[in-house]
Amino acid sequence: MPPVIEVMDASYVYPDGTQALRAVSLCVETGEAVALVGANGAGKSTLLLHMNGTLFATQGEVRVAGVAVSRPTLNHARRTVGMVFQDPDDQLFMPTVEEDVAFGPRHAGLVPDEVERRTHEALARVGMVHLRARPPYRLSAGEKRAVAIATVLAMAPDVLVMDEPSSNLDPRGRRRLIEQLRSFEHARVIATHDLELVVEVCSRVIVLDGGRVVAQGPVRELLNDEARMLAHGLERPHILRHLHPH
């Protein structure tokens, strides 16, 4: 079985000439949780946008479940990869929570009963069924994030791709998010600055700097390497300092 996401020597130059990615290669296996870390401007968000064909690599290739992402295969990529954007306000554009979660299934051409069922299921999964009739701007940051995740779950993707899922959350909201992320059976790609979340959720970490993959490996091993973390504008997470070696 091919890896769910495979990036091969992908480079990307923005129309204004900024080189955002330089020959990035990486691989995400089924059910695995991978963290994408790196300083601001390292190219994390740009890389994520390649995974569902919002952007296309200027050079190299991105494969989703073995299929190269291109205009003709966009639907396949978007059904397989669910993208949770950084600002939930960009993602929750419909008048009510319910309509928002139903947007994806409906545009996948499902029958109304199935749309209804998926909507309910996705909201139940993140514990937000009680908010179904609310307009998105009346939600707290944590609720918005949970609903944004539900909008993606409703499309039954194989991979969840998330950009800074824990930003703007209060400690309780963040805790709930971490529990949820741990409970998902999907493959997960999480771009974040929240290294504590990485330690709790992910098994593998990929470090980006200046549009290049500069390191990848098991979370504890890599994040414990303080010199290397500092060199790429990161730090060694506190949670690892207080953990005693087995």
Site residues, other proteins (CB under 8 A): 15, 49, 52, 54, 75, 78-79, 82-83, 85, 87, 89-91, 93-96, 98-99, 102-104, 106-108, 112, 116, 135-137, 151-152, 155
Question: What Cα–Cα distance (Å) separates residue 237 from each residue in 101, 134, 178, 196, 240?
Answer: 35, 37, 16, 6, 6
At how many degrees (to 10) do helices 141-153 and 97-107 cross?
20
The residue (of 62 and 205) whose beta carbon lies closer to other proteins is: 62
Identity of the residue numbered 98: E
The residue (of 106 and 236) whose beta carbon lies closer to other proteins is: 106
Rounded to the nearest whole angstrom, what is the least distance from the CB of residue 86 to other proteins in the complex? 8
The residue (of 90 and 185) whose beta carbon lies closer to other proteins is: 90
Buried b (16+ CB within 10 A) or exposed e, 1-13: eebbbbbeebbbe
User: In sequence order, which residues have a C-beta less than 8 Å from that of residue 54 and are 6 or more positions away?
Assistant: 83
The residue (of 52 and 192) whose beta carbon lies closer to other proteins is: 52
**Residue 22 contacts residue 46 (beta carbons within 8 Å):** no
Identity of the residue numbered 111: V
Question: How far apart are alpha carbons 102 and 152 in whole angstroms?
Answer: 10
* HSE (side-chain half, CA atoms, 13 Å) at 188: 27
Closest to 212 measured CA to CA, from 35, 14, 9: 9
Rounded to the nearest whole angstrom, what is the least distance from the CB of residue 246 to other proteins in the complex? 41
Rounded to the nearest whole angstrom, what is the least distance from the CB of residue 89 to other proteins in the complex? 6
Question: How far apart are alpha carbons 228 and 234 in whole angstroms?
Answer: 8
Rounded to the nearest whole angstrom, what is the least distance from the CB of residue 4 to other proteins in the complex? 16
Burial class for 67, CB neighbours closer than 10 Å (0-12, 13-18, 19+)? middle
The residue (of 112 and 217) whose beta carbon lies closer to other proteins is: 112
Rounded to the nearest whole angstrom, what is the least distance from the CB of residue 54 to other proteins in the complex? 5
The residue (of 25 and 54) whose beta carbon lies closer to other proteins is: 54
Rounded to the nearest whole angstrom, what is the least distance from the CB of residue 24 to other proteins in the complex? 20
Rounded to the nearest whole angstrom, what is the least distance from the CB of residue 139 to other proteins in the complex? 12
The residue (of 156 and 214) whose beta carbon lies closer to other proteins is: 156
Phi, psi (degrees; rounded to nearest 5) at 91: -90, -30
Question: How far apart are alpha carbons 156 and 80 in whole angstroms?
Answer: 8
